[in-house]
Structure 1
Amino acid sequence: MLTSTFQRLNTYLDSQVIGQPDLVKQLLIALLADGHILVEGPPGLAKTRAVKVLSDCIEGSFHRIQFTPDLLPADLTGTDIFRPETGEFTFQPGPIFNALVLADEINRAPAKVQAAMLEAMAEKQITAGRETYSLPELFLVMATQNPIEQEGTYPLPEAQLDRFLLQLNVDYPDEASELEILRLNRGEAMGIDKPEAVQISQREIFSARQEVLKIHMAEEVEHYIIRLTMATRQPERYSDQLDGWLQLGVSPRATLALDRCARAHAWLCGRDFVTPEDVQQMAYPVLRHRLLLSYEAQAEGIAADTIVSQLIAQVACA
């Protein structure tokens, strides 16, 4: 079964990306839900390694793009090159034309580059000159942001953040995981054989996506998703505190993302139906970057996850 194949892939990734089980799981959910993921965390927490190890397991190419303030859109998308031998211009594809793309420190690139990247993510195509070019059918972007050293960065506006299916915050591993990382790194440096990678074809990925879409979701769970998203737009119906914290609620894109991700989470857990717990598990990475907090909430240091927790506590499951 495809489910068991992806579960084995999850286990293998956990063995190679130590101490970041949430990152591994959310990467697989983004792959199954056909979306992109934004990861925020300090450097050195295996963000690049996670995507690289995943790329070794699935059919498709991988490329890492280091975003810098001097990057141009053409450096990302590609450009027309003049061929003297033919006297014609031909398009030279850029690094965006890969199945898996790591957009490292995306907030360090200027707005035009970010816009080109997000057009590719939203439309699965890029525009160069007068021509439009389609990207690979399998196309997953994991973009990273560094929460420190904000000088010289160009923060993604809310409308662009909304294009990401998921946003994940990664933190340092615990003591036991740190020891395991040490031993794994030493073993790799000594050339000790690692477990054989689980291999998954693109056909299997597309078939798994179809299975995810067919997962049963009861009407009550559908209404629960709607109530959660509506609560972000009408927080005054639930509490004065929520009303004071939220300046703007989430868009219908969040409803679609929560539906798709809850299904992927249930499927990855080996179930053929979605529970309210699946919705609650996925509410944090789906909603946290889409909520626009009020000045009062920001002044009080209220995190988006705190608001999501309040939503889950106050919105009835049925």
Structure 2
Amino acid sequence: MPASNLIRLRGPYAPVLTPFKADLCIDTGRFVEHCRWLESQGMGLAIFGTNSEAASVSLDERIELTEALVAAGVDPMKLMPGAGLCAIPEAVRLTRHALSIGAPGVLVLPPYYFKTPSEDGLFAYYSELVEQVGDARLALYLYHFPQMSQVPITVALIERLLKRYPDTIAGLKDSSGDWDNTRTMIERFASHGQGFSVFPSSESTMTRAIPLGAAGCISATNNVNPARVRALFDLLDAKGDASEIESLQRDVDAVRSIFQRLPMIAAMKSTLARARDARGWNIVRPPLQSFDESAARDLDAQLARIGFELAPQQA
């Protein structure tokens, strides 16, 4: 049975892009606008994920942005803040803050700087985080992204953490890009109603993943194609018409395939900049680089060929 104190998170989430001003300060107003638009399109908000440029956003900036969202009326229950930092005191502070504003879960990378840490070392990291936060409300989602973090989240580690903290370890985002790994995680931990939510990192896997018991997806391109991804999830969740599901899956795959061939953060920001007539959306923090005009025009042409248009923001 699911752990009694956990809210089992489900649905599609966007790892929300972070807009910057010309001086590289965060554009808080534009961030709030984008989050409110995503929320209106049916997205959960995985703020401070990889595509948020989270590694380039300071601890204080993350806290200030989270508070700005809540002050603007964004539902804290829609938030899944990224709280994975190498320094345990910083991860503890960020996690406590997420709990204080009412977020129902945090997404936590392993300590990614260190070379091939042992399973015991990773278990100790997550244990220290749980123990030092010391809050029964904590629902911790593990973040498996080995090609970036260089530190995998293994089946054995998950089993150890679930045995020690069954009321706290709530799920996992699998960004491995390996369908066999995603399927293993779903079948081992999420398909029997234990309250463990597995989120693949691409909407392109949803037709396979949701029927097996996946909770949704946390996908970069949910930043630009939220309504269609939400519609696909809802159809799958309701076991809807197979032909309609197939058609929607083709549509979201077409969008995803264009962006995933490109530097995704810069590409998505370029699309938002043009659709919103807001040049500031093009700005990324170094070491990333923005799209130049030639690359932006080529991206626009590719999206036009598949009939893609970004949904407008509400006035």
Is the pair's TM-score, using the shorter chain for normalization, greater than 0.5? Answer: no
Larger Rg: 1 or 2? 1
Specify which structure has the bigger relative contact order, considering alpha-carbon pairs within 8 angstroms and separated by 6 or more residues: 1
- TM-score, normalised via structure 1 length: 0.31
- TM-score, normalised via structure 2 length: 0.31
Relative to its length, the structure with more strand (as a share) is 1
